[in-house]
Structure 1
Amino acid sequence: MPDSYGPPPKRVVYDFQVLASGKWRTTIDITAPNDSVRHMMVEYRPDGTFAPGGGDTSEADSAAIMVPTPNVLVMNLAKNKRLGSVRVYTVSADGKEMIESAAAINPLGEPFVRNFHYKRVP
């Protein structure tokens, strides 16, 4: 992570679940170095339509999510009805790794894209 993000989290856990009636639920738990946990979740249809978020909304309070292929998820995050960031999650063929590519605007108004690499926990 860039230095401007502060110390990296101890752990980040993503959970993607398929629910009944075509809905999905994504939960994200980020454990900070001091062991505090930010918990975020959203229930949605993976068709690119609006869905309100829940839990910690400091970064985003709603999302639109699409799954164009089985190993790719595209997430558009908003806060107060303004674009927050766009995330693309790609899972490796063996399902053991995931890359998150996040596009946003920095405080100077400059666009950027960053990548994070995750490994599946047993």
Structure 2
Amino acid sequence: MPDDYGAAPKRVTYGFADIGAGKWRSTIDVTDPDDRVRHMVVDFRRDGTAVRGGGDTSEADEAAFISPSPRVLIMNLAKERRPGSVRVYTVSDDGGEMTESAASVTTNGAPMIRRFHYRRLP
């Protein structure tokens, strides 16, 4: 990641749950280096429609999701109606790992893509 992005978190936990009627809930908990936890939640349909998020909105307050295949989810984030970042989540065949590719720009306006790998908690 670029130097101006800040310190890496200690831990990031994602949750994705089918809440019925074609809707899903995503929860994200980011534990910062100082042990402060930022909690975000959003209920969405996987049809590209923008929805407002809840909890910590320091990075984004709206998101749109689409799922072109069962193990791929694309999320587009915005803050105060301005583009934020695009995230692509890919889940392994066995469901035990997830890769996040996040495209955005640095504070200097240069494009960047960062990639993270996650393992399912027992």
TM-score, with length taken from structure 2: 0.94
Tell me the equivalent position of 1:107.
107
Determine the C-alpha separation between the residues in 2 that align with 1:95 and 1:67.
Answer: 16
Amino acid at match of 2:84: G
Percent pairwise identity: 62
> Within 2, Cα distance between the matches of 1:63 and 1:54?
11
Runs of 4+ in 1 over 4 A off after TM superposition: none
Aligned residue in 1 for 2:77: 77
CA distance in 2, matches of 1:40, 1:79: 14
TM-fit CA distance, 1:7: 2.9
CA apart distance, 1:3: 4.2
1:41 deviates by 0.8
Alpha-carbon deviation of 1:62?
0.3
- How far off its partner does 1:21 sit? 1.1
How do residues 61-76 of structure 1 correspond to structure 2 at under 5 angstroms?
61-76=61-76
Pairwise CA RMSD of aligned residues?
1.2
Residue 35 (structure 1) aligns with:
35
- Which range moves more in the overlay, 51-60 or 108-117? 108-117
Report deviation, 1:31.
Answer: 0.9
8 Å CA contact 2:4, 2:106 repeated in 1: no
Q: CA deviation at 1:4?
A: 3.5
**1:7 counterpart residue number:** 7
- Cα 1:35/1:91, change in 2 over 3 Å: same
Aligned residues: 122
Gaps of 5+ in 1: none
Aligned 8 A contact 2:104 2:112 in 1: yes
Length-normalised TM-score, structure 1: 0.94
**Helix, strand or coil for the counterpart of 2:94?**
coil
Q: 2:2, 2:104 → 1: CA distance?
A: 14
Shift of 1:69: 0.6
